[in-house]
């Protein structure tokens, strides 16, 4: 019972959120309703005209051809106007539906840009893609069906009852008495399909996430011979999707036979009682034919509405997942008077900084550091000690739990994120490229750069020679994973980006990890020139690459345990000396 109430509450909240989007297009909704009324009234008037024509055909020598032709003319006009109104109504419904969907997708994309990285780290990319693409498409189908069939269905039921009441009250009461059966059928189906479609959407998101992950990492899967394990994992998710989909489809498939049974009851009731009334002279044969036509028209919307209810359960289940994403807590908003950092000097201070990714697991505790403008700071230590976390905090990908980080005397929480990150040039071990030309990828940080500047940056990064060997040089189109480029070539392109922008501060996190030794030496020389006068943070496992650093921070368990230059740390014979000597023990 508690689960049922929770589902009803969730469904009610989701409907309210959908209506908030729809009300932006209230004039379109009003126009659709007016056109639906026109369609229903004209559609319901045709059986009356047909019944009148039937009454003009009864009896030998009693056929009124002139009257019949006049009625046929009215029927023809009604059909033409109905068709035009139906077309306009569908146009309005399409306009409302796809503008609502456009708004939802824009809100989802906007939220994606302001979500904190901790959300993206905790959720699979495939599930997020499934919500924004597949779930929104399913919701669009249900919403369009709701507009198209729900309005006209409800109006047809109400209009038919009114027309029948005007014609004959007793027979109308027969129809009304059987009507609750339809409502019971619709309620039975609706209450059982929502949770099933919700589970279906959730499982489909898992499946999309797994497929996206496996396609993007197929080389790793094959390298470690994980094909069978992946197939078993996929089979498990696929089986769960099959089961919940079958349950949802089973209950939704009850709609048609159940509503057809109710239709037959209504039609039979009208036929039997109408025949008795016609025999006694209570109604004419034409009115009876009109009633039988109304009996079909009255029950048909119940079929449609029941089908719509089923689709709406699916649509609402998908909408709930979309709104759950849209309503995620965004990253902390910037102060209105946040400083725009321009021409940063590179004076960076970390004052009693503490940070944890997970509240119960310690990482960085009471971290203190003062970096003067132009200093080259190397950060070393064992895996998991917090080196990359420090970089995440400097870039404000994550906010500190306590303490403060300052750049040029201002807390970075009082600086706009855009200007802070623009002030850093960042090259990571993991490369990122986007679909487009080599030239466009190098220009990512400086879209207005000239071709000469792009080539100069590529030369500085020692990427020019391999780029010229590509089929179309700088105009070669690559995919987001770099296509046939080697890991080293992709890293050279990322280095060229930074060479092009030349920001006042640099972050190099294993920036040459995938590059051969000879090219690495050339790039280190280029970096040395580039770092002159710029505050630089260098994360490295190969300690031979940081000998020239002004300050080397040795981290362990989130704390700085040693600090100094290369020679002084070696002379101390501490943890750094152990790390350095372990790398050259075989030499």
Close Cβ partners of 53 (under 8 Å, ≥ 6 residues apart): 67, 68, 71, 72, 286
pTM: 0.66
CA distances from 11 to 194, 315, 318 (A): 8, 11, 11
DSSP state of 333: P
- Write the DSSP string, 247-265: HHHHHHHTHHHHHHHHHHH
Query: Rounded distance, CA 218 to CA 231, Å?
Result: 13
Query: Rounded distance, CA 150 to CA 163, Å?
Result: 20
Tokens of 578: 């152990």
CA distances from 65 to 71, 122, 284, 460 (A): 10, 77, 19, 95
Query: Rounded distance, CA 132 to CA 425, Å?
Result: 31
**What does the CA dihedral 87, 88, 89, 92 come to, rounded to 10 degrees?**
130
Per-residue pLDDT of 27-53, as tens digits, reads 888 888 888 888 888 887 877 777 777
The reported pLDDT for the residue numbered 586 is: 44
Close Cβ partners of 84 (under 8 Å, ≥ 6 residues apart): none
Phi, psi of 127 (to 5 degrees): -65, -40
Furthest C-alpha separation in the chain: 126
The reported pLDDT for the residue numbered 169 is: 79
Contacts 24+ apart (CB under 8 A), 287-293: 287/51, 287/55, 287/167, 287/168, 288/51, 289/47, 289/50, 289/51, 289/54, 290/47, 290/48, 290/50, 290/51, 290/167, 291/164, 291/167, 291/168, 291/171, 292/267, 293/47, 293/50, 293/51
Contact call for residues 146 and 315 (beta carbons, < 8 A): yes
Tokens of 216: 């993007």
Query: Rounded distance, CA 510 to CA 539, Å?
Result: 6
Query: Rounded distance, CA 533 to CA 128, Å?
Result: 42
Phi, psi of 200 (to 5 degrees): -65, -45
Ranges of beta strands (E only) in 229-360 are 348-355
Query: Rounded distance, CA 523 to CA 545, Å?
Result: 11
CA distances from 470 to 66, 436, 455, 467, 520 (A): 84, 14, 14, 5, 21
Smallest Cα–Cα separation from 147: which of 192, 91, 188?
91
DSSP state of 543: G
DSSP state of 116: -
Smallest Cα–Cα separation from 569: which of 546, 585, 586, 538?
546
Please list, residue by residue across 327-360, b when 16 or more beta carbons sit within 10 angstroms of its beta carbon and e when fewer do.
Answer: eeeebeeeeeebbebeebbbbbbbeebebeeeee
Smallest Cα–Cα separation from 194: which of 10, 437, 435, 459?
10
**Angle subtended at Cα 586 by Cα 581 and Cα 587, rounded to the nearest 5 degrees:** 85
DSSP state of 338: -
Domains of the chain: 2-24+95-326 (1.20.1560.10), 346-421+549-587 (3.40.50.300)
Q: What is the mean pLDDT of each run of 10 residues along the chain (587 residues)?
A: 55 80 86 86 79 67 72 86 90 87 88 82 78 83 76 78 77 74 68 73 81 76 80 88 83 72 75 76 72 71 67 79 85 82 86 84 83 86 80 87 89 88 82 84 86 89 86 85 75 84 83 69 73 82 74 81 85 83 61
């Amino acid at each position: 019972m508690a689960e049922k109430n929770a589902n009803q509450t969730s469904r009610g909240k989701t409907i309210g959120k959908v209506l908030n989007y729809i009300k932006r297009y209230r004039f379109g909704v009003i126009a659709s309703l007016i056109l639906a009324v026109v369609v229903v009234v004209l559609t319901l008037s045709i059986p009356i005209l047909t019944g009148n024509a039937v009454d003009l055909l009864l009896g030998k020598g009693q056929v009124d051809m002139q009257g019949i032709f006049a009625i046929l003319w009215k029927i023809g006009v009604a059909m033409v106007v109905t068709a035009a109104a139906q077309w306009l109504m569908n146009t309005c419904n399409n306009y409302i539906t796809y503008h609502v969907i456009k708004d939802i997708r824009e809100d989802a994309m906007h939220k994606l840009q302001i979500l904190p990285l901790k959300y993206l780290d905790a959720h699979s990319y495939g599930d997020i893609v499934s919500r924004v693409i597949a779930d929104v498409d399913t919701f669009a189908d249900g919403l369009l069906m709701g507009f198209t069939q729900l309005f006209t269905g409800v109006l047809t039921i109400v209009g038919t009852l009114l027309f029948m009441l005007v014609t004959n009250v007793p027979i109308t009461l027969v129809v009304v008495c059987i009507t609750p059966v339809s409502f019971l059928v619709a309620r039975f189906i609706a209450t059982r399909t929502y949770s099933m479609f919700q589970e279906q959407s959730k499982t489909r998101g898992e499946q999309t996430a797994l497929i996206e992950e496996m396609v993007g990492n197929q080389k790793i899967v094959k390298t470690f011979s994980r094909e069978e394990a992946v197939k078993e994992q996929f089979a498990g998710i696929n089986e769960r999707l099959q089961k919940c989909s079958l349950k949802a489809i089973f209950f939704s498939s009850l709609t048609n036979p159940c509503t057809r049974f109710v239709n037959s009851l209504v039609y039979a009731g009208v036929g039997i009682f109408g025949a008795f009334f016609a025999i006694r002279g209570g109604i004419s044969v034409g009115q009876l034919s009109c009633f039988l036509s109304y009996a079909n028209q009255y029950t048909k919307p119940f079929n449609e509405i029941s089908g719509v209810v089923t689709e709406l359960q699916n649509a609402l289940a998908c909408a709930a997942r979309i709104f759950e994403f849209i309503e995620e807590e965004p990253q902390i908003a910037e102060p209105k008077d946040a400083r725009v950092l321009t021409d940063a000097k590179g004076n960076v201070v970390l004052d009693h900084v503490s940070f944890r990714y997970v509240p119960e697991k310690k990482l960085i505790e009471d971290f203190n550091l003062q970096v003067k403008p132009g200093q080259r700071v190397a950060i070393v230590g064992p895996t998991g000690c917090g080196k990359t976390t420090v970089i995440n905090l400097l870039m404000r990908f994550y906010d500190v739990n306590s303490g403060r980080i300052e750049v040029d005397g201002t807390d970075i929480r009082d600086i706009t994120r855009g200007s802070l990150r623009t002030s850093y040039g960042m090259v990571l071990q993991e490369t990122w490229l986007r679909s487009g030309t080599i030239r466009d990828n190098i220009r990512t940080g400086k879209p207005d750069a000239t071709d000469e500047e792009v080539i100069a940056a590529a030369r500085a990064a020692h990427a020019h020679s391999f780029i010229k060997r590509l089929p179309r040089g700088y105009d070669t189109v690559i995919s987001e994973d770099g296509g046939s480029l080697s890991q080293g070539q992709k890293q050279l392109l990322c280095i060229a980006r930074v060479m092009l922008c030349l920001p006042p501060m640099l972050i190099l996190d294993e920036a040459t990890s995938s590059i051969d030794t000879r090219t690495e030496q050339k790039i280190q020389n280029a970096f040395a020139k580039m770092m002159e006068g710029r505050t630089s943070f260098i994360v490295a496992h190969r300690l031979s690459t940081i000998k020239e650093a002004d300050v080397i921070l040795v981290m362990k368990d989130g704390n700085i345990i040693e600090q100094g230059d290369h020679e002084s740390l070696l002379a101390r014979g501490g943890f750094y000396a152990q790390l350095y000597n372990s790398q050259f023990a075989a030499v």
